[in-house]
Amino acid sequence: MYGNDFSAPNGAPDDASGGLLGEVEAAEAELRAAAARGRCVGPAPDEDLAAYFTEVVDAEQKIEPRDWMPDAYRRTLIRQIAQHAHSEIIGMQPEGNWISRAPSLKRKAILLAKVQDEAGHGLYLYAAAETLGISRDELVQLLLDGRQKYSSIFNYPTLSWADVGAIGWLVDGAAIVNQVPLCRCSYGPYARAMIRVCKEESFHQRQGYEILHTLAHGTPAQQAMAQDAVDRWWYPSLAMFGPPDGDSTHSAQSMAWKIKRFSNDDLRQRFVDMCVQQAGILGLRIPDEDLRWNDERQAYDYTQPDYDELMQVISGNGPCNRERMAHRRAAHADGNWVREAAAAYAAKRAGQKETVAA
Ligand SMILES: [Fe+2]
Ligand SMILES: [Fe+2]
């Protein structure tokens, strides 16, 4: 369990991610077991490479960078992993906005560490994408040119301190529900990166939950601030699972390749069911008049997010799209001297080694 410094009253789950952390640990054990029984020898000289690929995927083993893979599989993974990496990096902005205004030294230290974790996630993921034969420089350029996307959620503004809590609870929470199944993705480097990322995301969710719990049990003004943040972040968080299954273009093939394990709607439902119980413990209301338990489905009925709004935000017209990209471009340009200095230092070191060797 992570974050045992905080025990919520009234039977709150020990693991605020609703048992998902246990699934991450199970995926990690599975990964080790698959490696132990692994078919490490690779395909026989006369074996069909495509058949070998399918056999490895069907056997729940991992495709590794050295293995043959269909071009479309490689392209899908590059697109997905890069989009994920970009989201981690751009996602530092809305919360970074509150580092200088966190209400105490402790809150500031926690938020700094969290935002720094997100930078780390971006770097693991760029490294995982690089194993597919594309460089981090190219990927960053694709983001800066607007040819690759990042998660639409980070185009919403953070208006109050409670937004930091709502992002942790809902946005990191939705991220975990999305990402836990990716710990069992068929591509080894992505699966391994996701195991590390999910363990940290679980901690992020817990810190957001704890911020909201504190506010929700504070003064009437603090309670109102917490409720307002949940009201604004609820539907954008539901939209993080993507379009409804009927409109999801990439899903079927990704399922067959075992990149994706559950449909967008299944994951969204899981998230809703997880949040309802936790909102009750927080004493906050989920802003959905039609939210109710459905005995037949053994799940909550809920109002879908506004998918037209999602499409608008994805196409660049969200409240903060321009601001986020302008900030990223400026940060990239400001960091140019660091990249130049690192390259010059590496060249100098290489020169020294050559001299010693000569
Ligand atoms: Fe992250
Ligand atoms: Fe996170």
- Of the listed ligands, the closest to the CA of 118 is 1
| CB-proximal residues (5 Å) to ion ligand 1 | 88, 118, 121
Tokens of 158: 């953070």
Per-residue pLDDT reduced to its tens digit, 228-276: 999 999 999 999 999 998 887 767 889 999 999 999 999 999 999 999 9
292-294 vs 299-301, strand pairing mode: antiparallel
- Rounded CA gap, 183 and 313, in Å? 28
User: pLDDT digit string (tens) for 24-71?
Assistant: 888 888 888 877 766 555 666 667 889 989 999 998 889 999 999 999
Q: Tell how far CA 304 is from the center of its chain.
A: 21
Cα 351 to averaged position of ligand 1 atoms, centre (Å): 38
Q: How far is the CA of 59 from the centre of ligand 2 (A)?
A: 31
Cα(210) to ligand 2 centroid in Å equals 15
Q: Which ligand is nearest to the CA of 87?
A: 1
Q: What is the pLDDT of residue 3?
A: 38
106 Cα: distance to centroid of ligand 2 (angstroms): 18
pLDDT at 13 over 60: no
| 114 Cα to the center of ligand 1, angstroms | 9
Tally the residues of the chain: 358
Query: Which of 148, 28, 164, 162 is CA-nearest to residue 89?
Result: 148
User: Mind listing the pLDDT tens digit for each residue in 67-96?
Assistant: 999 999 999 999 999 999 999 999 999 999
What is the whole-number distance in angstroms between the Cα of residue 47 and the centre of ligand 1? Answer: 40
Measuring CA to CA, which residue among 221, 226, 209, 207 is closest to residue 285? 226
Centre of ligand 1 from the C-alpha of residue 24, in Å: 15
Q: Using an 8 Å Cβ cutoff, are 299 and 265 in contact?
A: no
The reported pTM is 0.90
- 3-class SS at 216? helix
